[in-house]
Structure 1
Amino acid sequence: MATAGPRSFSAAEVRARCAQGACLVSCRRRLYDLSGFVRLHPGGEQLLRRRAGTDVSAALDGPPHRHSENARRWLEQYYVGDIEPGDEQVPPRGRAGTGGHAQNPPAAAAAQLCAWYWDGLWVPQHYSPCVLPQDLVDWQKPLLWQVGYLGEKYDEWVHQPVDRPIRLFHSDFLEFLSKTAWYVVFMVWTPVVLYLSWVSYTSLAQGNTRLFSSFTTEYSIPVHKYYFPFIFLLGMVLWSLLEYLIHRFVFHMKPPASNYYLITLHFLLHGQHHKSPFDSSRLVFPPVPASLVIGFFYGVLRLLLPEVLGLCVFVGGLCGYVIYDMMHYYLHYGSPKKGTYLYGLKAYHVKHHFEHQKSGFGISTRFWDYPFRTLIPEETFKKED
């Protein structure tokens, strides 16, 4: 079915829309409406607002960093038309004509551009007139039962992010259970943390808890109630390590191309998040499956440590998990102030999603990326020569 050609916009029309609050930017005559994306931008909302109505082609090439191929694909989802000939804005800074994808062909070649640039990637019709004749999956049906058939194409496909919600299950009930608003995690687990903290502290206050030496059972160390904050913090530190290990070795395992079930499991656990990183209903762990995982780790601690000590470590780890889930949501949907810790962490995490999927596994902290040598190198944030 034939589609209409791209609409043309005059510079005056672009300025008028920006004056009304829209965030329109151009890249060598191609016009993009970023109004719905400004708050999600890792560089901050104000950075995009300042560029409204201008050509951003030089900014895509850096500094402060050269945007990845995925970031350029992501931009194309917001394509709305072309700037009328003669109304193009000169890029405010940087060098024009650098980089393979920085060049934009004439408007007559727009269809060829999309076919070449969006191989296997969904393009929303309300953003772009260039719609692929086919995609690797049927977005009108639940994806969970389709991704296993992608085989060798799955790993590349799942790491090409799109801006749209994902449906996993045919069943409305299962679909409901797979989605969670961020505040549900806080409301469910914070009372549990507070209650178990009180139980742990009062149990230690009875003075019956002792830590036996690993060398002899005749000598034991009393554990006073004053030790609770330190044991609690130990649990939080252990959680941060567990967070890193799960993210790296479970969530980012590369399933065999021939194994339908492992591909499906990977997509269910984490692939869906990389495919649609700004789906707000899938940024935190639903309480029902989370309770099973949390219960498993509590059982492990009960086996390894005396009951009260295991509970103290567990509640610290549970608090760490709640902080992690809240922070993960904020890193995707928050707009931290430039120069703050969370601002740098948001840019770091977005880099993991869009360019460095094999590194940058720390979410609430980069600490464990240092000893495990998976830190995203700082120079990738700077302009490439």
Structure 2
Amino acid sequence: MPTTVSDLTLSTTTINTMSNGKIVQIQSEELQQQANHVQIHTFNRNFLNKNKKEAQFIVKYRNKYYDIERFVRNHPGGVNTLRGLYDGDMTTRFLHAPPHSDAAMYLMKEYEIKPQLIQLQNGVKRRHHLQPIPIDREQEQTLDAATSLNGVELIADAGQEDKNNNQLDESMEHLVDWSKAMVPQISHITRYYDEWVHKPVDRPLRLFGPSYLEVFTRTPWWLIPLFWIPVISNCIWDEYTEKWSTASMSRLMIFAINFIAGTIFWTLLEYMLHRFVFHMKINANTKPWLCTFHFVIHGLHHKVPFDSKRLVFPPLPGVIIATVIYKPISFLLPYPRIVLAGALLGYICYDLMHYYLHYGNPSLQRTRFMYHMKRYHYQHHFAHQDMGYGISSPLWDMVFNTRIHLRQLRFPLRWR
């Protein structure tokens, strides 16, 4: 039975009758140790219980506590791999799991539960660098022992060396102020931008200060088909009424070929944009405006990958890109609007599929292709940012040798 404060009645002395009848008063070191044990144990459990009022999934890793409730369904490894970790010590399982990437370890810091007691450094409260009041080694061992009484699994050797990159990265979030608009700040961190933007966080992001600008940067998934399907219909109708007044089987075949060609053209364009524009190389010599441009069009998605309103492309910049692409093909192709309609349909499928890959629960049995693409895309986000540029298909990754090879799993993953 777990030991709690109510289970113990403590006294400062114990009366012990010796064999010779002499009564002696003995200071009980054992009871004193139990008192210390209960004190640490009480602090630990009260702290967790206080956080459980707001959080529902608390785990322990290397003597720190993490609330991963809002991360569970976004876990790239699925919810079933987290089974049995609730209110438990995951250190052993973590150390014996396949290696976690730098990005995954950095993200983990987002869910750490910070104790209320904070040690000030030189009397100054520093943002992002507050440290809890340290507990000495003896207290730490007592705290672990108290935790074990509640059925929490402990590692056999807490000091064992990691064999698979499971150390927590130092935070880089002091480079920016997350309480302010991000766009004006990006130009000041160009030197560190490429490393910073590939270290994901799970927190609210605001791009612009004025609300009339910010509203255009957040897009629900359903707005994409709502906006673009009428555009596609208009392109087809205009082309049909202008050149296809007398329909025939041969003309319909030409229509279908051009439409399919436009869809295939989109898959190549998707790959090229993602690889050479969205993942352009940013370094200390890059122009600050170009760094800001990169963050707005794609960098923000890698920085805050779980923001559901930033998973699809806003219509306004989408119109600009579509216009730029349409101009040259209007001079080169005989039926440019049909090709554009096919490309826009491919784009709609891409954007909706991208949203589903982040928030859907594809099944290996029923939706095998989507299941593999979800794993594929998560590998791009958290392990291989320089590979796996295909979202709707890995076709062009195979053609250009940037394909991510997924390892075989012993059991299928679930994300719900």
| TM-score normalised by the chain length of structure 1 | 0.76
Show the counterpart of 2:326. 298
What secondary structure sits across from 1:36 in the alignment?
coil
Say if 1:226 and 1:151 are closer, same or farther in 2 by CA, change over 3 A.
closer
**2:342 maps to which residue?**
316
User: Deviation string for 1:156-200 (max 9, x for gaps)?
Assistant: 111111111211112221111122111111211123223434555
2:258 paired residue number: 231
Q: 1:146 to 1:252 in 2, by over 3 A?
A: same
The structure 1 residue matched to 2:144, chosen from 85, 93, 118, is 85
State the AA in 2 paired with 1:241.
Answer: L
Cross-structure match for 2:72: 38
Q: 1:30 to 1:303 in 2, by over 3 A?
A: same
Q: 2:99 maps to what in 1?
A: 66
2:144 is paired with a residue whose SS is: coil
**RMSD in angstroms over aligned alpha carbons?**
3.4
Residue aligned with 1:206, SS: coil
Q: What SS does structure 1 have at the residue aligned with 2:65?
A: strand
Alignment map for 1:90-109 (pairs within 5 Å): 90=153, 97-99=161-163, 102=166
- The 5-angstrom pairing of residues 355-374 of structure 1 reads 355-374=383-402
User: How many residues align structurally?
Assistant: 333
In the TM superposition, what are the counterparts of 1:243-254 in structure 2 within 5 Å?
243-254=270-281
Q: Distance in 2 between matches of 1:62 and 1:240?
A: 39
* CA deviations over 1:236-291 (Å, ceiling 9, x no partner): 11101100000000011113423211111111111111111112221111111111
Asked if the contact 1:44–1:337 (Cα under 8 Å) also holds between the matched residues in 2, the reply is no
Match of 1:163 in 2: 202
| Residue 58 (structure 1) shift | 4.4
Inter-partner Cα distance in structure 1 for 2:300 and 2:308: 12
Is this contact kept in 1: 2:376–2:406, CA < 8 A?
Answer: no
The whole-number CA distance in structure 1 between the counterparts of 2:280 and 2:408 is: 24
- 2:20 match: none
Task: Give, as a single letter, the amino acid of the residue that structure 2 aligns with 1:157.
Answer: W
| Alpha-carbon separation, structure 1, partners of 2:218 and 2:333 | 34
The 8 Å contact of residues 204 and 223 in structure 1, kept in 2 or not, is answered as no
TM-score with structure 2 setting the length: 0.70
Query: Is 1:118 matched up with 2:170?
Result: yes
> Take 1:288 and 1:201, find their aligned partners in 2: how far apart are those partners?
26
Q: Secondary structure in 1 aligned to 2:77?
A: coil
The aligned runs of 1:1-385 (5 Å cut-off) are 9-10=44-45, 22-61=56-95, 63=97, 65-80=98-113, 84-86=143-145, 87-88=147-148, 89-90=152-153, 97-99=161-163, 102=166, 117-120=169-172, 122=173, 135-200=174-239, 205-206=244-245, 224-258=251-285, 259-306=287-334, 309-338=335-364, 340-379=368-407
Aligned-partner Cα distance in 1 for 2:263–2:392 = 11
AA of the residue aligned to 2:171:
D
Task: Report the counterpart of residue 25 of structure 2 in structure 1.
Answer: none
Contact in 2 for aligned 1:147/1:264 (Cα 8 Å)? yes
- What letter is aligned with 2:371? Y
Contact 1:39 1:334 in 2 (8 A): no
- 1:99 match: secondary structure: coil
Unaligned ranges ≥5, structure 1: 104-113, 123-134, 210-221
Verify the 8 A CA contact 1:244 1:368 in the aligned structure 2: yes
What displacement does 1:203 show?
5.9
Maintained 8 Å contact 2:90/2:153: no
The answer as to whether partners of 1:360 and 1:374 remain within 8 angstroms in 2 is yes
SS in 2 for 1:26: strand
Matched to 2:339, the amino acid is V
CA 1:200–1:49: 2 relative to 1, 3 Å: farther
Please identify the structure whose Cα radius of gyration is greater: 2
Q: Tell me if the contact between 1:243 and 1:362 (Cα under 8 Å) persists in the aligned partners.
A: yes
Cα distance between partner residues in 2 of 1:139 and 1:37: 20
